[in-house]
């Protein structure tokens, strides 16, 4: 276990690049199982979730090598469809491998996926989508086992725009016989990036990023070089860091079109936003204004993965803000930790009422999950005194060397392992 030691008071200023998106890289890594030729993925950051997925691929028999932010995968030597227990429990996105493994081997066996404990995330929609393609499921000893003698294209109507179910269905359908139409598909840009990768490999996926996706099954694909799209959550986190510290921050190497919902909320809070090319500049006021309503919803609405960070920012707003979390029912665990820092908030079911205080103060807090940890880092940067955040390693699941990025902007943050703390 490691800790962040954050000293508040500095106004962040300067430029910081966004790295490749974790939530785009993970399903693309899963997709490499479909191919018998090498693949090169660029802008693929060494996040713990991504490294765990690479380790899962190695356990399946693939050759995986990293050089900087480039990962090379040769899945021609993959030999079976049984996922390793411990690694699969650590990373929820291992579930994406079901579709790929079924397509490659006709069978797959996996433990129930892990990841952050942010609420109930059943895989019912994954199962439904794969069953429509001809997959038969059973459960043995707490594991999901699936088999398909032949995958056949089908009509898949999703009751909810699940990102994971949409991506799993695409991965299984690209080599299925015939045409698959997914209605009610999730529209996240990471799905569009997965489709760009698959199309570059010679498969046929049309309409990704819209509610209707058409896949025309083809028997084989070929190796490619693909650059992962910029991480919109990392982009948003560093912009909010500038806002909570009353600073001026520019995020480069990003795609402003992916964070429109966030930018409109930051402007409503009184921040000045300038967009140019692949960069976004934020200049913060001395104290942000409240937001009467912020609701998380599927893309292109405000993302649940930035809710905790905005919660931290609004804890220091001038008035009372209201946040409604519509995606996960257990994603306000940061609220109690922020109260340790002097925040005033009340949770009523899926709604948080936040009464802004002029200044937070440092405290000992715990990062219960990835985005909770990011929010507490931001809160510590904007607080008086020193904040100690337990379980810093959870932040590593989504941010590449966050401490270095913050120091680049003038923030004061150190990482220490338990044995260094005396």
Domains 2-19+230-420 and 22-227 share a fold: yes
Alpha-carbon span 173 to 228, nearest angstrom? 22
Give residue 115's pLDDT.
Answer: 44
Average model confidence (pLDDT) across the chain: 94
CATH 3.65.10.10: does it fit domain 22-227?
Answer: yes
Give residue 330's pLDDT.
Answer: 78
pLDDT tens digits along 55-94? 999 999 999 999 999 999 999 999 999 999 888 877 766 7
Cβ-in-10-Å burial (0-12, 13-18, 19+) of 150 comes to exposed
Give residue 143's pLDDT.
Answer: 84
Active-site residue flag, 145: no
Domain map (residue ranges) of the chain: 2-19+230-420, 22-227
Give residue 3's pLDDT.
Answer: 95
Cβ-in-10-Å burial (0-12, 13-18, 19+) of 8 comes to buried
Residue 262 and residue 301 in contact, taking contact as beta carbons nearer than 8 Å: no
**Alpha-helix runs per DSSP H in 174-231:** 189-200
Per annotation, catalytic residue among 44, 54, 62, 116: 116
| CATH code for the domain defined by 2-19+230-420 | 3.65.10.10
Q: For the chain, what percent of residues have pLDDT higher than 70?
A: 96
* CB count in 10 Å sphere of residue 418: 10
Match 């991480």 to its residue by tokens.
Answer: 231
Question: What sign has the CA pseudo-torsion 129, 131, 132, 135?
Answer: positive
Q: Per-residue DSSP letters for 100-152?
A: HHHHHHSEEEEEPP----SS----HHHHHHHHHTT-EEEEETTEEEEE-SS-B
* CB count in 10 Å sphere of residue 348: 9
Give residue 119's pLDDT.
Answer: 41
**Alpha-helix runs per DSSP H in 183-315:** 189-200, 232-244, 260-268, 307-314
pLDDT tens digits along 241-251? 999 999 999 99
The strand pairing partners of 157, in sequence order, are 183
Q: Which residues contact 139 (CB under 8 A, 6 or more apart)?
A: 145
């Amino acid at each position: 276990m490691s800790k962040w030691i954050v000293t508040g008071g500095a106004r962040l200023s300067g430029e910081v690049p966004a790295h490749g998106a974790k939530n785009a890289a993970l399903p693309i890594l899963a997709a490499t199982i479909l191919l018998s030729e090498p693949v090169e993925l660029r802008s693929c950051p060494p996040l713990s979730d991504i490294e765990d997925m690479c380790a899962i691929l190695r356990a399946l028999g693939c050759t995986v090598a990293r050089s900087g932010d480039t990962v090379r995968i040769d899945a021609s030597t993959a030999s079976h469809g049984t996922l390793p227990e411990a690694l699969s429990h650590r990373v929820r996105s291992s579930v994406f491998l079901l579709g790929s493994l079924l397509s490659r081997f006709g069978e797959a066996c996996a433990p129930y996926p892990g990841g952050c404990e942010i609420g109930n995330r059943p895989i019912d929609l994954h199962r439904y989508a794969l069953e429509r393609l001809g997959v038969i499921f059973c459960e043995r000893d707490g594991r999901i086992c699936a088999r398909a003698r032949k995958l056949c294209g089908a009509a898949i109507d999703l009751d909810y725009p699940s990102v994971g179910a949409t991506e799993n269905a695409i991965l299984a359908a690209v080599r299925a016989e015939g045409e698959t139409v997914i209605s009610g598909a999730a529209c996240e840009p990471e799905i569009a990036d997965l489709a760009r990768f698959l199309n570059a490999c010679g498969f046929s996926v049309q309409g990704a990023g819209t509610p209707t996706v058409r896949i025309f099954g083809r028997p084989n694909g070929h190796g490619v070089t693909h650059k992962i799209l910029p991480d919109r959550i990392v982009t948003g986190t560093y912009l909010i860091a500038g806002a909570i510290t009353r600073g001026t921050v520019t995020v480069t190497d990003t795609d402003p079109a992916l964070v429109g919902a966030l930018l409109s909320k930051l402007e409503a809070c009184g921040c000045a936003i300038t967009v140019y090319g692949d960069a976004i500049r934020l200049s913060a006021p001395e104290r942000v204004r409240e937001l009467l309503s912020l609701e998380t919803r599927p893309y292109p609405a405000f993302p649940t993965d930035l809710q905790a960070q905005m919660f931290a920012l609004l804890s220091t707003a001038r008035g009372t803000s209201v946040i409604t979390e519509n995606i996960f029912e257990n994603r306000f665990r940061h609220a109690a930790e922020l109260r340790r820092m002097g925040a005033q908030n009340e949770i009523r079911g899926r709604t948080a009422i936040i009464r802004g205080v002029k200044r937070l103060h440092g405290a000992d807090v715990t990062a219960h999950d990835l985005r909770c940890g990011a929010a507490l880092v931001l809160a510590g940067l904007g607080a008086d005194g020193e904040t100690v955040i337990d379980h810093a390693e959870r932040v590593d699941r989504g941010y590449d060397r966050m401490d270095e990025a913050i120091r680049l902007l003038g923030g004061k943050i150190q990482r220490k392992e338990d044995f260094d703390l005396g």
